[in-house]
Each structure stands twice: as C-alpha cells, then as structure tokens.
Amino acid sequence: MKFLFVFFSLVLACSAFSQSKQDVPGEFLVRFQGPYNPQYAMSSLQSQGLRIKEVISKSLNLYLVQGARSTKEGLGAAYRTRGVAYAQPNHYVFLRNQRNPLFRGLPNDPESGKLWNMMESAQGGMAASQIWTSTVGGKDKGGNEIVVAVIDGGFDLTHEDLKENIWVNRQEIPNNGKDDDGNGYVDDIVGWNAFDNTGKIKVDMHGTHVMGIIGARGNNGKGVHGVNWDVKMMAISGASGTTATVAKAYGYVIDQKKLWFQSKGQRGANIVATNSSFGVDNANCTSGEFPVWNDLYEQMGQLGIISAAATANNNVDVDRVGDVPTGCASEYIVAVTNTTQQNTKYNSAGYGLKTIDIGAPGTNILSTLPNSKYGNLTGTSMATPHVAGAVALIHAAANEAFYQRYVTQPAVAALAIKQVLLAGVDPLPSLQGKTVSGGKMNVGKSVQMLNTARWRN
C-alpha cells in the first residue's frame, strides 16, 4: 500500500514563493586582506576544501573559488579561512536591454504550440510552463548535471532534437574495447545495452518518443521540446524480454549513482529519476514471485532516485488484478496513469486507489521519432515521461534547503519530491477514488510547495 501526505520529513509552510537571486552554483568570489599572493591564498583555501578557479584581480587580492557542494557551503568555508576580508556569490549580470537568458519563458521550437501537455492545467497540461519562466534547468543548486535514466527498447541518439541532451560518460574512451573508468562496463559512452551487455544502443521508436517528452532540446528552433529542455538523458536498452534484462538495466543505474556519490561527482552520474514505460500486466508484485523488482526500486530510492512507472494500458483496477511494477510496494515508485487534453482519465488506462499515484498527459502526445522525425502517440508510456521529466525540473528549480537535504539524505529528498508531486495535483473527478492523489500532476504547484517547505531535523 502507498501512503499520501505522510510528511515525515517536511511540513508545508504558508509563506509565499520567493525566487532566489541568480548566481553561478558552487562559485563565489573571495577577497583577502593585505597583499597575499596566490600561493598563500591557494594554500589557505585548500585547508577548507576549496580551490581557486581564477585570479580575478591582483590589486584587490580577489579570487574566483570553487569546490563546495553549494554556494552557501562555500561561503561558510571561505569565512573560516584566515585572512579573508569577504566572500560573495558569483551573480549573473545582464545588459539593461537584454532579457535574462537564464529565464526560459516560452520556446521558439516550431511545434511548441501543439504541446498542450506542457501548458496550463486548464488546457489539460502539467503547468511546466510556469517553471520555465524562472529556472535555469539542467543543473541543480550545487552546479551538478541533472540526469534522467531512460530504460526502454532503444533510442535514436542522433535525432536533431535529442543529441544535445544525451548524457555522456566523459571518463570512457569510445570504442576501444576497454573499461577506461573502471566502473565495470566497457565502452558505456552514453549508457548501456542490457540485452547484449554492450555500450551499443539500439534504435527504437517507442524509446525515442519517450525520451523526447522528458528532454527534447528546448529553444533551439527545431521540432518540439521536453518537460525539461536541458536535462541529460542516460540511454539504457533493457525494457523488455525478461526480468533478468530489466534487473541489469536498473543495476547500471544503481552502479552509476553510487559511483557519483563515492567520487563526489567526479565519476558516475547524478541520476534523479528513471523512466519505465514497460511492465507485466495482471501480475501481483507482492505475491512473492517478483521480489527483485521491489528490491531494485528500494535500492535506487535510497540513492535519491524516483522511479516513474507506467501502469497498464487497459481500463482495469490494478488494486484488484495486479501490475508490475506499478503494483509494487516501494515508496520510491510514482505509478502513472494517462489523462487527456479534456482533463479526464483516458478510457484504456489502468487505475487503483491504493496503487496508482497520479495522472499525467498521455493522449495524442507529439514527440520525437527516429530519423529526426516527429509524431503523436498515446498511452501510459507517454504519460510517465512527463513525471520523470518533472522530477528533473523540480531538482533544477529547488532551493538551497532541498539541495542540502538531497546531498546528505538522498532517500528523504526523493520521498519529499514524491510528496509534493502528489500533494500538488489538480483534482480530477475521473481520478477521484481511482488514484492515490485523486488528480493530475501540476509541476508548478509542486515546485512552490517544495520551496516553501519547513524541513524537520
């Protein structure tokens, strides 16, 4: 059973949403008192785990500094350094007649007007457009690249609207037959093929369409855009066949996220969500026949990963007939059903008061197809990547308090995101009594809830 509104880690406050000043995450300026040379400054800062990126002004003894997980943490460390006169964030600055380039607004992609699924709730959408006007996207408050792992059959990674947003393992040398980064996977440049145990990713229509919903490049004057225009997507082929194949696919996600934490962001990937638009119909995840599935979601959740999962494309009560994975017990799953532009549950989409968490747009969705083409598809497979993309967008928009919780207590942070996703829904009559939340995702509301929350210690 899944529980909603158990706010064990945060309490929602009533204060108004406020946007923090725009500064470069994890960078700040430090001025030393007196005529200190760079060698002295470097030594002093290194004692606090910081490093000099650039000498800004010798006459002012002013340095651009990096090394902290966040600007707040870095400023605190700088002020503990002997000889520091002051430290400040490295704010962005703009020409007076220039629109802030960090604010996305509405994109120039030619097909954006057809993406009702991204727009305001009254239009049937998920209200992502509310967030695009205020968040940089692509990186979190600590300056870390945000990654969504997409597990599917395959992907067209050369698509004109996807190729810039594909995650790349920069520690691996392409096609040399060696495991250069020592992570246990040979030539895993953009992800992993769990079918063949290679880094060569298959091309597939379903996965290409799913990937475009999550993160087709925005504002590039081409085609469409995703929920988050700048997110990086890890390509993993392994969404069908057998449980063993799926387990290998998820195992790659777990290994990469563990490595990211262990290396303090120097290796692996900062995976915040997985997308799973696949499953087993009429299967009881709690029967004892599918224990590995729940174990995998639990292990990913402990690493701060939310697993967005598509329920059945049949008008069935999953509470009664079962489904894998959306009937699994892990709290780190967000089980998704399909809603229409008319704000109703799609007729051929599963439901369940105890098992299915939330609705998201999944009917006649325009997205990417192989060979740099575009087309419309319908299904819970299309609804679910809206949720995976929303998790990434929330990480990009989240404030300092959430970021600190994420890097110190990733499992708590993951559950907090699930809580605000479910608490922030727009209620729909067709989902009342048929889903845990009773509504359709509104990511704008969810971000506001998260950023006005009071965290419990």
Q: Residue 116 to residues 216, 335, 340, 428, 448: CA-CA distances in angstroms? A: 15, 22, 10, 17, 22
Percent of the chain with pLDDT over 70: 88
Give the integer Cα–Cα distance in Å for 348 and 364.
Answer: 13
Q: Is residue 193 pLDDT above 90, yes or no?
A: yes
* Any domain includes 97: no
Res. 307 pLDDT band, cuts 50 70 90: very high
The phi and psi torsions of 315 (rounded to 5 degrees) equal: -80, 70
344 in a domain, yes or no? yes
Q: Rounded to an integer, what distance in angstroms lies between the CA atom of residue 447 and that of residue 208?
A: 27
Domain count, the chain: 2
Cα–Cα distance for residue pair 45/65, rounded to 1 Å:
9
Alpha-carbon torsion (327, 250, 136, 54), positive or negative: positive
Stretch 58-81: mean pLDDT: 76
Confidence of residue 329 (pLDDT cuts 50, 70, 90): very high
Between 49-63, 148-162, 202-216, 368-382, the lowest mean confidence (pLDDT) is in 49-63
* Same domain as 184, residue 35: no
Residue 435 lies in a domain: yes
Domain that holds residue 40: 23-91
**Do 28 and 128 belong to one domain?**
no
366-375, pLDDT tens digit by residue? Answer: 999 999 999 9
pLDDT tens string 421-436: 999 999 999 999 999 9
- More confident of the two residues 358 and 22: 358
* Per-residue pLDDT, 56: 81
Residue 104 belongs to a domain:
no
How would you list the strands of the sheet with 84-91, edge to edge?
Answer: 51-57, 62-66, 23-32, 84-91
Torsion of CA 247, 248, 251, 252, to 10 degrees: -150
pLDDT of residue 88: 86
Tell me if 100 is assigned to some domain. no
- Say yes or no: 325 and 402 in one domain: yes
For the stretch 200-241, pLDDT in tens is 999 999 999 999 999 999 989 999 999 999 999 999 999 988
Last residue in a domain, options 60, 91, 122: 91
Highest mean pLDDT among 126-130, 136-140, 162-166: 162-166
Instruction: With a cut of 80, say whether residue 13 has pLDDT above it.
Output: no
Q: What is the structure's pLDDT at 94?
A: 54
Task: Report the pLDDT value the prediction gives residue 386, as an integer from 0 to 100.
Answer: 98
28, 123: one domain: no
Q: What is the pTM of this model?
A: 0.82
Instruction: Say if CB 105 and CB 133 are below 8 A apart.
Output: yes
Q: 47-51, 74-78, 312-316 — which one is most confidently predicted on average?
A: 312-316
Per-residue pLDDT, 209: 98
| Pair 136, 61 in one domain | no
| Shared-domain flag, residues 313 and 420 | yes
Q: Pick the last residue of a domain from 40, 61, 91.
A: 91
* pLDDT on residue 318: 98
- Looking up residue 34, the CATH number of its domain turns out to be 3.30.70.80
Tell me: pLDDT of 5 over 50: no
Looking at the structure, tell me whether residues 393 and 294 fall in a common domain. Answer: yes
Question: Are residues 74 and 119 located together in one domain of the fold?
Answer: no
Same domain, 204 and 307: yes
7: in domain: no
In a domain, 9, yes or no: no
Same domain, 126 and 221: yes
Work out the angle at residue 403's Cα, subtended by the Cα atoms of residues 418 and 84, and round it to the nearest 5 degrees.
170
Both 134 and 262 in one domain: the answer is yes
Are residues 35 and 176 located together in one domain of the fold?
A: no
Q: Which of 16-25, 55-64, 200-209 has the lowest mean pLDDT?
A: 16-25
The CATH number of the domain holding residue 288 is 3.40.50.200
**Residue 415 included in any domain:** yes
Q: What integer best gives the mean pLDDT of the chain?
A: 88
Q: Convert the pLDDT of each residue in 259-303 to its tens digit.
A: 999 999 999 999 999 999 999 999 999 998 999 999 999 999 999
Q: What are the strands, taking DSSP E only, across 341-419?
A: 358-361, 365-369, 373-377
Given a cut of 80, is residue 1 above it in pLDDT?
A: no
